Amino acid sequence: MYRCSEIVRLISSEEYLTAGLLKRLGIRLHLAACRNCRRYARQLRALAAALREAAGPVPAAEIETAKRLVLERLAQKP
Amino acid sequence: MPEPNFSDARFLRRLKERDRVAWAELADAYLSQLLRAARGMGFTIEDSQDLAQSAFAALIEGIGRFEGRSHIRTFLFGIFYNKVSEHLREKQRAEENDPIDEVMESKFDLQGKWRQPPLDIEKKIFSREARQMVEKCLETVPRAQRIAFYLRAVSEMDTTEICNKMQITPTNLGVLLFRARNYLRECLERMGLKRG
């Protein structure tokens, strides 16, 4: 049976993705029995969602500058 | 706004002929995405601009060889991620020791059980001020960790591809992801404590 500390490592490093059947089963059994690790696992999923949200839109001025530079580059001799 | 059909052979020909309007359309479609990705990975505004520019410059140079077998967005982002990894080449391997490792060790007792249940951070994550909090916490995450986490969680690249791009081993990637996630989680937990 895995310890909580091992479960936390396996989940956050995504080592479980490449784990064999037995290891995966062990992780599942632990999660079924351990409220704390279930909560932790749920939080990590929420973190990924938060990361996707966090990067807000890029200011229009930055995009304009970038576009101008790209078009200048295009105008240079090939 | 529906994306123009960039896969169209005629459009590709216009790109190859360095048609300014076609390139402007392409820039409109993807520059903001490139800049956003670079910012999301923690690059400064200046570095993000440089990365987006060098990706586009490489595309302008390489478009003659592009045969349209993949989507041009895939091609462009492929170039972009290569630029990112060139930019980092030196520093991207996981350091042997990182303060977060000790923090994580201290969370468990000798039997490997949680000393304290993990605090509820979900309310924080989904609250109104969450974005600033998450951004602030992201700043505490070392660069390579942050990039690995971004590629995995936002770009949804598979782990093999990330290892190729970052030129690291799967074990190394595992360490980076472990640290990035736990840095971020710990930081949010601490902020939650402060605000009660």
% chain B with pLDDT above 90 = 61
The ipTM (two decimal places) reads 0.88
Which string of DSSP letters, residue by residue, matches A15-65?
A: GGGG--HHHHHHHHHHHHH-HHHHHHHHHHHHHHHHHHHHS-PPPHHHHHH
Residue B72: which of B59, B61, B85 has the closest Cα? Answer: B59
* CB pair distance less than 8 Å for A49 and B125: yes
**In a mutagenesis test of the A interface, which of B125, B137, B150, B179 is the best target, namely the one with the most A β-carbons within 10 Å?**
B125
A29-44 mean pLDDT = 96
Three-state DSSP class for B66?
coil
Nearest chain A residue to B35 by CA: give it.
Answer: A58
Interval B47-72: pLDDT, tens: 999 999 999 999 999 999 998 888 99
CA distances from B145 to B3, B92, B107 (A): 32, 8, 21
What single DSSP character describes residue B41? T
Q: Specify which residues B114 forms β-bridges with.
A: B108
Interval B73-123: pLDDT, tens: 999 999 999 999 888 765 556 678 899 999 999 999 999 999 999 988 877
Residue B29: which of B73, B71, B63, B67 has the closest Cα? Answer: B73
Residue B136: which of B120, B154, B124, B148 has the closest Cα? Answer: B124
Candidates 3.40.50.920, 3.40.50.720, 1.10.10.10, 3.40.50.11540; CATH matching B99-195: 1.10.10.10
Interval A10-19: pLDDT, tens: 999 999 888 8
Q: Specify which residues B108 forms β-bridges with.
A: B114
Nearest CB partner across the interface for A36, out of B52, B57, B117? B117
- Output phi, psi for B96, to 5 deg: -65, -45
With 80 as the cut, is the pLDDT of residue B5 above it?
no
Which string of DSSP letters, residue by residue, matches B92-131?
A: -SPPS--HHHHHHHTTB-TTS-BSSPPP--HHHHTSTTHH
Choose between A53 and A37: higher pLDDT. Answer: A37
- Output phi, psi for A2, to 5 deg: -75, 150
Candidates 1.10.1740.10, 3.30.1330.60, 3.90.550.10, 3.30.499.10; CATH matching B9-88: 1.10.1740.10
**Residue B53 burial (CB count, 10 A):** 19
- Please list every residue in chain B whose beta carbon sits closer than 8 Å to the beta carbon of residue A45: none
- Please list every residue in chain A whose beta carbon sits closer than 8 Å to the beta carbon of residue B159: 14, 17-18
pLDDT at position A58 is 87
- Provide residues of A within 8 Å CB-CB of chain B: 3-6, 8-9, 12-15, 17-18, 35-37, 39-40, 42-44, 46-58, 62-63, 65-67, 69-71, 73-75, 78
Nearest chain B residue to A30 by CA: give it.
Answer: B113
Interval B32-50: pLDDT, tens: 999 999 999 989 889 999 9
Q: How far apart are CA A11 and CA B39, in angstroms?
A: 26
B180-195 mean pLDDT = 85
With 90 as the cut, is the pLDDT of residue B27 above it?
yes
User: For residue B135, what are its two tokens?
Assistant: 């951004």
* CB pair distance less than 8 Å for B36 and A36: no
Nearest chain B residue to A7 by CA: give it.
Answer: B112
Sequence spans of domains, chain B: 9-88, 99-195
Q: How far apart are CA B4 and CA B11, in angstroms?
A: 9
